[in-house]
Structure 1
Amino acid sequence: MIAYKGFSPGMVCREYQFRMGINVTDKANCRENGFHCAEDPLDCLTYYSDMDCAEYYIVEAGGDIDEDDVDSKIACTHLNIIKRLTVEEFFLHGLAYIVDHPKRNWNSKVQKGKGKACNGYVLVRGIDPAASGELNDILAFAKEDHATGNIIQVALTRVDGQKVLPGRWYGVDLKERQVSLI
């Protein structure tokens, strides 16, 4: 099963040093032990929310697998670490998950309608999403169809200080716009 995992810098999680390739443990209980990862990449932000203090990877979960009903987190006994994702790649995978599963519960880090970046990012979902951030923040957008709730457009950009300016609001078309803060 393809999944996603967040780490502290250097592929460390809860004081355990992981390595690229297959990592093996003997038990997998989501609430107690095993190697944890998530089907929804955005669930990694629940545990590793600060982009400056985290690394994100595509992994393959195998062996014994246990799930709980908290989010898409799973525990497994075999964790194959495949590839480190850039921040942009991580959010593109998150947007793809939202597109593929528009009716699933939203991750708590996804903001409805409009949002300002925190910890280096903002992901906004809605009929007319708008986002703002500071220099180097990631702005991610998922535009919904008003009738079905399906995602009809996604966009991703970084506040670079040239095309996308700090402290300004942008829509899914990546054009600057006025937003009411009420």
Structure 2
Amino acid sequence: MKAYKGFHKDLSCLGYKFKENAWNKTDKANCGENGFHCAENPLDCLSYYRNWRNSVYYEVEAAGDLDEDEFDSKISCTEIYLLKRLTLEQLLFEALIYMVEHPERTWNGHVKKEYAEAHNGFAVVRGKNPNAHGQLGDILILLKEEDNCSAIEEVAFLKIDGKKCYPGICYTVKGIENHQEEICA
């Protein structure tokens, strides 16, 4: 099963040092107690490893015995393989894909409704007219829902780079809100 996992920079998690290019194995998988933990929703990794500047994230293959958590998309497994290291930008893009593919699932706490100002390097906003702004280097993810349901009809993945997207300007999935250079609310 494809999933995502956060680690300390040395690839350790709860005292276990994970290995790349090898199956990591343990005996038991109980989400609340033991096993190797990962998440189906990439944003859940940022709930457990909030400081992305001091953490690393991977796309993983979860296998063996699996136990799912009812709190979020956390999974415990007896076997895990680290497939690909992801930058914050890649992890957020995977989160965008996850939300498009699963629009009815419970929102992660990092997802804001209709409006957000980027915090900790990013903002994720869903709604009928999502908009956000940020500072240089921030990433804005905007997911516009259909009028009569929560299916996603349009998305924007923007990086405030000072060349195409600018700090302090409100963006929607169509670009600059009302074509004005002002902060939105």
Summarize the alignment of residues 143-158 of structure 1 with structure 2, pairs less than 5 Å apart.
143-158=144-159
SS of 1:46 mapped into structure 2 = helix
Q: Is the 8 A contact 2:169 2:183 kept in 1?
A: no
TM-score calculated relative to the size of structure 2: 0.92
1:86 CA drift (Å):
2.1
Q: Work out the CA distance in 1 between the residues paired with 2:167 and 2:183.
A: 15
1:13 CA drift (Å):
1.5
1:180 CA drift (Å):
4.8
SS of 1:108 mapped into structure 2 = coil
Output the amino acid matched with 2:88: V
SS of 2:82 mapped into structure 1 = strand
| Gap regions ≥5 residues in structure 2 | none
Q: Work out the CA distance in 2 between the residues paired with 1:168 and 1:179.
A: 5
1:43 CA drift (Å):
1.1
Matched with 1:123 is 124
1:65 CA drift (Å):
0.9
Q: Is the 8 A contact 1:36 1:74 kept in 2?
A: yes
TM-score calculated relative to the size of structure 1: 0.93
Does the alignment pair 1:64 with 2:69?
Answer: no
Q: Is the 8 A contact 1:50 1:120 kept in 2?
A: no
Task: Deviation per CA, 1:93-142: give whole Å up to 9, x if none.
Answer: 11111111111111111000010111111101111111111111111111
Q: Work out the CA distance in 1 between the residues paired with 2:15 and 2:135.
A: 32
1:92 CA drift (Å):
1.4
Q: CA RMSD for the aligned pairs?
A: 1.5
Output the amino acid matched with 1:55: V
Matched with 1:5 is 5
| Gap regions ≥5 residues in structure 1 | none
Output the amino acid matched with 2:10: G
Matched with 1:86 is 87
Q: Work out the CA distance in 2 between the residues paired with 1:158 and 1:6.
A: 22
Q: Is the 8 A contact 2:133 2:183 kept in 1?
A: no
Report how many aligned residue pairs link the two structures: 181
1:24 CA drift (Å):
0.8
Q: Identity percentage over the alignment?
A: 49
Q: Is the 8 A contact 1:36 1:75 kept in 2?
A: yes
Q: Work out the CA distance in 2 between the residues paired with 1:12 and 1:159.
A: 32
Output the amino acid matched with 1:128: N
Q: Work out the CA distance in 2 between the residues paired with 1:41 and 1:68.
A: 15
Q: Work out the CA distance in 2 between the residues paired with 1:34 and 1:87.
A: 25
Output the amino acid matched with 1:68: D
Q: Work out the CA distance in 2 between the residues paired with 1:107 and 1:70.
A: 10
SS of 1:52 mapped into structure 2 = helix
Q: Work out the CA distance in 2 between the residues paired with 1:50 and 1:140.
A: 19
Q: Is the 8 A contact 2:63 2:80 kept in 1?
A: yes
